[in-house]
A and B are shown apart, each in its own frame.
Chain A
Amino acid sequence: MLVLAFDTATPAVTAALYDGERVVAESTTIDARRHGELLAPAVEQVLRESGATLSDVTAIVAGTGPGPYTGLRVGLVTATALAMTAGVPAFGVCTLDALAYAAQESGPFLVATDARRKEVFWARYGDPRMRLDGPRVDRPHDLPGELPVVGAGGAMYADVIGADRVRGPEHPSAGALAALAAEHLATLSEGEAAEIARVPEGRVDSVEKARELAVLGPPRPIYLRRPDAQVPGAPKRVTA
């Protein structure tokens, strides 16, 4: 098994190779504005560092967000296009699940990331492998009280949720994403995995649909918000 994973749903542009037991190579750069510039070179770098080529890779996994859309799409389109060239399946894993998996929490906790517009993307977990609720998008003020909050969405709103609840890591790592995906891939036959990777018809852009997805799903974005667009009324008059 050699899993190539990356995530572009947060300010971290992160890519890693995982061989089933350990992270063989990983590259992470924090830059919220340059996902498109940074991802392909990062993929190239982890392949080079591990002495592997794309033909050695057995699965490609990308974070499906939720996250700012422009960056998020860079990761997902890269995953589907690379998978097409390599002839391997591409999977998606919720970015918040990867953050949860990397967290050192023993009890229940929340994961929250920056959703911009003074909101956070968040989900609730029973333990690092078990999402109980979410992902959702809300104001930090509306996060359920008391539970620790993993991820930058907690750190940036520490004054709202209380500094004592803030936990790391702030950003997801592709190493954790790959390891989580590998755990699930190891339990599946090739046929089952191919079935999961298949992109379903229609769009998965509602909370309800997203929640139906298990940890491993097709490489489709979790948007949680509809596009900003208004149906125009009558044309504006130019004469007073």
Chain B
Amino acid sequence: MSRHDEPIVLGIETSCDETGVGIVRGHTLLANTVASSMDEHARFGGVVPEVASRAHLEAMTPTVESALAAAGLRLSDIDAVAVTAGPGLAGALLVGVAAAKAYALGLGVPLYGVNHLAAHVAVDQLEHGPLPKPSIALLVSGGHSSLLLVPDVAQDVISLGSTVDDAAGEAFDKVARVLGLPFPGGPHIDRAAREGSGTAVAFPRGKYDDGTLDFSFSGLKTAVARWVEAREAAGEPVPVADVAASFQEAVVDVLTRKALQACARYDVKDLLIGGGVAANSRLRALAQERCDAAGVRLRVPRPGLCTDNGAMVAALGADLVAAGVKPSTLDIPADSSLPINVVSV
């Protein structure tokens, strides 16, 4: 059992391009260290799995060392190790899972293989305290766009809807390319959009009124490309700020609309937004506006906890320890398509 009143948990995250190592004591954040290989992917216009996996191997032990130093702890202080077991890039996940097993085995402490999406939900407790049960969670990033009903983040997470094609963050990246903005597209579109009008171009909103809680961003992405190409064909300048703002407005309108629909449908008064796209300023503003109107409390972790990181994995690990959930065995696989209802493996 834990040698401390609250367990000190080491969390490891390698599902995409960030090597994240976090350390928590219960719901207190002690360290959140991230080594990103994003610069190596930028020229390819997207994350290259093999490049990411190579970078994870190089960064793994140095990042653990930095996290321990930041927390002022030694490896022997760790009570449990948690790791993202999926979903994510298979080869990238495997580096983190193998490392976590070695740390757990070497330290003689329990291992928890956890779901990346549930970890995105659990992390908010490090900033805003225990998560109301139940909550609705909207997770949006380059890899996911999901609406979840979360009765208990340690044991019970239910998928209400997800994207049927592109992830929201992916749409940001693709539209950024069309507009000649750098990768990753999210921050650049956010910045450009501040100078433009969200109502300048009426872009389509996929699955807006279809009654489901699913998303679709592929049609929107194509509509933006078609609109830009038409301007170029006509020899007219492309109003980048207006296109960025109108595209962004379409995305966040759909995201917040469906999130509030989910809250109403399940009579839940707490909405959490996580994932890299949660850093988008317009998404935060519109979500706040609509939550206020609906009497829903909004929780959005700070940007460093929204993007992929190890603290979120550690936070969920601490919840699993507290809930008495059985640890994982040393033979768990990394599962690139781990279903969302599987919180820990």
Contacts and interface: CB of A to CB of B under 8 A. Distances in A.
Chains A and B form a bound pair:
yes
Interface of A: 34, 36-41, 43-44, 54, 69-70, 73-74, 76-82, 84-86, 203, 205, 221, 223, 227-232, 235, 237-239
B229 A81 contact: no
B73 interface: no
B94 A70 contact: yes
Contacts of B262: none
Contacts of B331: 37-38, 40-41
A229 B50 contact: yes
Contacts of B333: 34, 36-37
Contact of B95 (A44, A73, A82, A235): A73
Contact of B330 (A40, A70, A84): A40
Nearest to B46: A232
Interface in B211-253: 222, 225-226, 229-230, 233
Return the 9 tightest CB-CB contacts between A and B, nearest first: A85-B106, A81-B102, A227-B50, A40-B101, A229-B48, A40-B330, A238-B225, A74-B98, A78-B102
13 contacts: A38-B331, A40-B330, A40-B331, A69-B53, A73-B56, A77-B99, A77-B102, A82-B102, A84-B65, A86-B106, A229-B44, A238-B225, A239-B225
B48 A235 contact: no
Tell me the interface secondary structure of chain A in the complex: helix
Contacts of B50: 69, 227-229
A78 B57 CA distance: 10
Interface residues of B, number: 44
Contacts of A44: 105, 330
B67 to A, nearest CB: 12
A229 B54 CA distance: 13
Contacts of B97: 36
B106 A82 contact: yes
Contacts of A85: 75, 102-103, 106-107
Given A70-B53, A86-B106, A81 B222 contact: no
Contacts of B101: 39-40, 78
Interface of B: 43-45, 48, 50-51, 53-54, 56-58, 60-61, 64-65, 75, 90-91, 94-95, 97-99, 101-103, 105-107, 174, 177-178, 222, 225-226, 229-230, 233, 329-334
Nearest to B102: A81
B95 A227 contact: no
A46 B148 CA distance: 43
A36 B64 CA distance: 20
Nearest to B100: A81
A44 B107 CA distance: 12
B75 A239 contact: no
**Max chain A C-beta neighbours (<10 A), residue from B56, B105, B222:** B105
A71 to B, nearest CB: 9
A231 B75 CA distance: 40
A84 B75 contact: yes
B204 to A, nearest CB: 14
B99 A238 contact: no
Contacts of A203: 58
